[in-house]
């Protein structure tokens, strides 16, 4: 009972006694001193101390590949977004305002020289940002996957092979839309730039009437392709802008227990903006350009020949030779 009442009773109390000398590793002037030298003159100058470094890039001036890949992805998207804004204005917003394809043609011709008259302007302003954006995104995923393999125990060849055999980490909805958008933009470029350049040596005759002619001659595939292009592009661009602006729902912290509600409101706000932009874009593209009808005469026959050159679906899409 005594031990239970006073648990410290079996312990022996000792009086403190100083040691004879300070250990060598605690001396002030020792190179291995735990404490800094008391004399400032004996301290090494700051320039002689090695610069701080970190493998993760969290301190010092070093940056990991993630730092550069993210910036390549961001600024390449901003470059292409500038072109996309001008392109949407010419092909959708202006037709929506004028309610006429012929009245909208001059505005398209005014902006075209900025990226088609100079031989390397179009590759530099359109193709290069797209390639850099996609390549940096793929590189970012590969680097993060390999970094996770190094951190979490992929040491043997079998373990490394297991990580390499896994195609991708979990993709976000925005990333999925981006990868879906790549073949859609490629098909759009093929129909509106590559095939006309191959058939006529350029795109001087490619305008809104060419797009209207495609809608009139092949309505099903044109409406499906245009809807997929607009919807995918708008949602990918809108969520991308929200990401670079730091206003994603995931960035909202819980305050007073209503974090989930605020994140839900932010998510619906971004979806609402995406839906609004999609509706305006389609109102001009489908409502005006898509309903303008086919071109007549030799221009219409030339458009038919070019659209027949679309691989795989060209002849089926046009439905035979027009009289």
Q: What CATH number should be reported for the domain holding residue 91?
A: 1.20.1300
Q: Which tokens belong to 164?
A: 């390499």
| Residue listed under structure tokens 């593209």 | 285
With a cut of 90, say whether residue 40 has pLDDT above it. no
Q: What is the mean pLDDT of the chain?
A: 80
Dump the DSSP string for 105-116: HHHHHHHTHHHH
The runs of H, that is alpha helices, within the chain are 2-5, 65-88, 94-98, 101-111, 113-116, 121-122, 128-151, 157-165, 173-189, 195-200, 208-217, 219-245, 259-285, 297-308, 314-318
Dump the DSSP string for 145-185: HHHHHHHTT--SHHHHHHHHHS--SPPPHHHHHHHHHHHHH
Whole-model pTM: value is: 0.73
Report yes or no on 232 lying in a domain: yes
Q: Is 178 exposed, middle or buried (0-12, 13-18, 19+ CB in 10 A)?
A: buried
Which structural domain range is residue 234 located in?
Answer: 65-300
Give 33 or 244, the one with higher predicted confidence.
244
Report yes or no on 39 lying in a domain: no
Predicted confidence (pLDDT) per residue in 300-311, tens digit = 999 999 999 888
Predicted confidence (pLDDT) per residue in 248-286, tens digit = 988 888 666 677 888 899 999 999 999 999 999 999 999
Judge whether 202 and 209 are in contact, CB under 8 Å: no
Mean pLDDT over 206-230 rounds to 93
Q: What confidence category does residue 55 fall into, taking pLDDT thresholds of 50, 70 and 90? A: very low
Least confident of 51-55, 172-176, 184-188, 216-220: 51-55
Report yes or no on 255 lying in a domain: yes
Long-range Cβ contacts of 116-120 (<8 Å, 24+ apart): 116/203
In this prediction, residue 320 carries a pLDDT of: 55
Judge whether 99 and 288 are in contact, CB under 8 Å: yes
Report yes or no on 46 lying in a domain: no
DSSP state at residue 290: G
With a cut of 60, say whether residue 16 has pLDDT above it. yes
Report yes or no on 93 lying in a domain: yes
User: Which of 1-15, 49-63, 106-120 is most confident?
Assistant: 106-120
Report yes or no on 315 lying in a domain: no
Q: What confidence category does residue 39 fall into, taking pLDDT thresholds of 50, 70 and 90? A: low
Task: Provide the domain count of the chain.
Answer: 1
Predicted confidence (pLDDT) per residue in 60-109, tens digit = 456 888 899 999 999 999 888 888 898 899 999 999 999 999 999 998 88
With a cut of 80, say whether residue 193 has pLDDT above it. yes
Report yes or no on 160 lying in a domain: yes
| Residue listed under structure tokens 């005014």 | 110
Judge whether 238 and 274 are in contact, CB under 8 Å: yes
Report yes or no on 111 lying in a domain: yes
Mean pLDDT over 120-136 rounds to 89
With a cut of 60, say whether residue 113 has pLDDT above it. yes
Rounded CA separation 63/61 (Å): 7
């Amino acid at each position: 009972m005594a031990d239970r009442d006073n648990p410290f009773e079996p312990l022996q109390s000792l009086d403190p006694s100083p040691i004879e000398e300070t250990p060598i590793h605690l001396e002030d002037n020792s190179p291995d001193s735990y404490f800094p030298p008391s004399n400032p003159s004996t301290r090494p100058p700051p320039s002689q101390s090695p610069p701080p470094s970190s493998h993760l890039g969290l301190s010092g001036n070093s940056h990991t590949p993630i730092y550069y890949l993210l910036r390549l992805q961001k600024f390449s998207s901003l470059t292409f977004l500038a072109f996309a804004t001008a392109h949407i204005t010419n092909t959708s917003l202006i037709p929506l305002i004028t309610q006429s394809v012929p009245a909208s043609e001059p505005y398209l011709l005014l902006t075209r020289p900025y990226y088609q008259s100079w031989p390397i302007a179009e590759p530099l302003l359109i193709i290069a940002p797209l390639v850099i954006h996609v390549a940096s995104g793929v590189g970012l995923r590969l680097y993060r996957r390999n970094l996770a393999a190094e951190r979490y125990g992929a040491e043997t060849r079998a373990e490394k092979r297991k990580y390499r055999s896994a195609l991708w980490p979990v993709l976000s909805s925005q990333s999925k839309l981006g990868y879906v958008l790549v073949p859609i933009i490629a098909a759009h470029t093929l129909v509106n730039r590559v095939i006309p350049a191959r058939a006529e040596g350029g795109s001087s005759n490619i305008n809104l009437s060419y797009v209207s002619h495609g809608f009139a001659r092949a309505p099903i595939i044109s409406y499906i392709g245009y809807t997929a292009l607009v919807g995918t592009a708008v949602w990918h661009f809108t969520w991308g802008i929200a990401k670079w602006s730091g206003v994603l729902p995931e960035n909202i912290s819980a305050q007073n227990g209503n974090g989930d509600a605020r994140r839900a409101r932010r998510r619906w706000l971004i979806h609402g903006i995406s839906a609004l932009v999609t509706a305006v874009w389609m109102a001009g593209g489908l409502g005006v350009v898509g309903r303008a009808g086919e071109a007549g005469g030799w221009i219409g026959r030339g458009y038919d020949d070019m659209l027949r050159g679309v691989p795989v679906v060209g002849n089926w899409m046009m439905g035979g030779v027009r009289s």
